[in-house]
Structure 1
């Protein structure tokens, strides 16, 4: 059976190749049997053999060169030639009526709609007429046999067309799913990139930016102290050097996605105590740490988030609050771990805080995003002239406790 539509899937291509092979084999086998029977009953024997050879040549040409039959006029010419040679053979012997059944499939495959049905009716009429003319008699069986064969061929062909259409529809759905999955993967990748950018923004703000800010403050104090007190300036410069070295370590370890150096060397309470001590020494603000409850080992993400929260809050106190006292309270409760940072500074109006174009003002926003991502909550209580309290809560379940 020649191709009129190329398959689109490997499984379908294999199935169609097998169908074509079975069809061609069946056609040639029926032709051989009919030729043998016709030769035995024909007076000379040569006309059936000669016609069969011509039909074999014509049919085989189309079967072997099926790819050339994609052009409509070539396929129609080949089908007309096969049908004409078969009709001529039918005049020599009614045994060639057996070939009508595969011819039904050829017409139904190459023609469409009413043209295919008309061709099937014509072939059926030719078979019935030839049999009646050769035998000189008419019977119900002579009509029913070809008619039933034509009906079976039509039903099978329609069923095959329905299965083929369903297969194509399923393949289209699979292609859509594959394309959608690729688009989803791209979207997820873009979302991951955006989330990573947010994470980097928070890390840079909480580490390098704040450390460099401290360096600026220290060097500014050293600059003003140089003319009158060289020893004090030297102390400030030493502290600036130490802060810069700590931030350099922070950057290197951050690139390797490790814990902050202060957490690698000690636990969270010790890291917070060190942060308070450095804040008091560098700014003159009295900073105290209180720990409530029994400390437990927390996930690295919790410890990093809480330490960053303290760093951000104390940095804000240093730069904006003008506070004399800051209290950091770390609490280990049964169901949560808490961190509260209070200062007695000038306070502010939280509704007016917005990130500035130069990158400042991002601290509270980034801190809230970090805490929320861990399933926690953050509240800021402040008002102009009333100081500021930052309260952070992170859920603490057995899965979080190591």
Structure 2
């Protein structure tokens, strides 16, 4: 981290300055003769050990032990080098495990105290209390800062883990939403088209011998349905809008849907459009078209209705789609089919509502509303 790197760089320069100052003081007091050469050699050994410790990457405990041994040897020979212990405090506290901190502090503090006593003319309490107090303050401050850094790092790790978990949850949510969308699209387009083709081909098979013209008509209708479903599949794979809406309004698409349903089933399907037609946006128009497709597919497959009606109403605040048939009906509370569930999910995603009224033998009314503020 930048702050830690600056502090460590400062301590390196501080160690070099203290070592140079102590060597200069020793030369000033003792000159170049006698033991000066040996002291300077030991100072060079300490400097080399310190540099190797700073540059090394493996065995930090062993590296620092060499530094401490070199420092103690130098202080025994020349007590004036004792204050080089200050930057060594920092290196040891930073580099060694927590269990080794207080033994290191005690050893270096003892070396400084002994050196102070050897240099002093007489024994004073300050010679002991000063180094002990300085060592205690330095150690406590370092440990507290280290504790805070560890707490911040732990909080940062938790935050990053929470962000990763959130990203994973969002990816899963998007995948589930896309899976649900694909399921609705398949149900509302391909599955219904295949169901319609199946009914038409079954009718053609029944009438093939007795009513060949009608059978051929059913086959032609199945072919047209297959063509429409192929176009739906291609657009579906590309993620584009329904081909029923290509260069056409929602009203036109609903009119063609009603005509096709009436043609395939023989059940009259009336389309009514009320209010001022307002652009709804692609997503909303596709949703309403899919709802109508699903509802009329149920009319085709299950209702056995005599009449059906589709009503599209543009209001001031919302657009409403109602699909009604007078067929067999059902119990909405006892029905859990994918079609109705898909309609509810699709409309809820756009901020709309779905209401279903039906009962066995009493037909079915499906009402959907979408807010115009969303549609636009």
Please report the TM-score for the alignment, with normalisation by the length of structure 1: 0.84
Q: Once the two structures are superposed, what CA deviation does each residue of 1:286-333 show, in whole Å capped at 9, x if it has no partner?
A: 100111111111011111111011100011011111100001111101
CA deviation profile, 1:328-379 (whole Å, cap 9, x unmatched) = 111101111101111111111122223xxxxxx3111111111111111111
Partner of 1:115: 103
- 2:187 maps to which residue? 205
Matches of 1:85 and 1:69 in 2, distance apart? 25
Mapping of residues 162-201 of structure 1, within 5 Å: 162-201=144-183
| Structure-1 separation of matches of 2:361 and 2:233 | 36
**Structure 2 unaligned spans of 5+:** 94-99
Relative to 1, partners in 2 of residues 1:338 and 1:69: Cα closer, same or farther, differing over 3 Å? closer
Cα distance in structure 2, aligned partners of 1:153 and 1:49: 31
- Matched residues in 2 for 1:29 and 1:334: separation? 88
Secondary structure in 2 aligned to 1:315? helix
Structure 2 vs 1, CA of residues 275 and 108 (structure 1 numbering), >3 Å: closer, same or farther?
closer
Instruction: Give SS of 1:46's match.
Output: coil
Q: Which runs of structure 2 are paired with 1:232-271 in the superposition (5 Å)? A: 232-271=214-253
1:22 aligns with 2:22: no
Distance in structure 2 (CA, Å) of the matches to 1:255 and 1:107? 68
Q: Aligned equivalents of 2:290 and 2:63: distance in 1?
A: 78
Match of 1:39 in 2: 30
Provide the C-alpha distance between the structure 2 equivalents of 1:240 and 1:276, rounded to a whole number of angstroms.
16
Q: Measured at CA, do residues 289 and 71 of structure 1 come closer, stay the same or move farther in structure 2, by a change above 3 Å?
A: closer
2:76 is equivalent to residue 87 of structure 1: yes
Residues 3-402 of structure 1 aligned to structure 2 (within 5 Å): 9=1, 11=2, 14-15=5-6, 17-40=8-31, 45-66=33-54, 67=56, 70=59, 72=61, 75-76=64-65, 78-90=67-79, 96=80, 99-106=81-88, 110=92, 112=100, 114-132=102-120, 135=121, 138=122, 144=126, 147-148=129-130, 150-354=132-336, 361-397=337-373, 400-401=375-376
Are 1:108 and 1:116, in contact at CA under 8 Å, matched by a contact in 2?
A: no
**Which whole-Å CA distance do the structure 1 matches of 2:306 and 2:207 have between them?**
22
Report the CA distance shift for 1:62/1:21 in structure 2 as closer, same or farther (over 3 A). Answer: closer
CA distance change for structure 1 residues 315 and 68 in 2, over 3 Å: closer, same or farther? closer
Cα pair 1:345 1:388 within 8 Å, conserved: yes
* Aligned counterpart, 2:96: none
Return the alpha-carbon distance in structure 2 between the equivalents of residues 84 and 282 of structure 1.
Answer: 104
Counterparts in 2 of 1:71 and 1:239: CA distance versus 1, 3 Å = closer
Q: Judge conservation of contact 1:48–1:89 (CA < 8 Å) in 2.
A: no
Residues of 2 paired with 1:239 and 1:295: CA distance?
Answer: 31
Number of residue pairs matched by the alignment:
369
Q: Residues 38 and 199 of structure 1: is their aligned pair in 2 closer, same or farther, counting only changes over 3 Å?
A: same
Q: Distance in 1 between matches of 2:138 and 2:152?
A: 21
CA–CA distance in structure 1, aligned partners of residues 291 and 195 of structure 2:
16
- Using the size of structure 2 for normalisation, the TM-score is 0.89
1:262-281 deviations in whole A, cap 9, x for unaligned? Answer: 11131111111111111111
Cα deviation, residue 228, structure 1:
1.5
State whether residues 344 and 386 of structure 1, in contact with CA within 8 Å, keep that contact through their aligned partners in structure 2: yes
- Cα distance, 1:77 vs. partner? 5.3
Q: Aligned partners of 2:65 and 2:143: how far apart in 1?
A: 20
Alignment check: 8 A CA contact 2:14 2:87 kept: no
Q: Distance in 2 between matches of 1:69 and 1:235?
A: 86
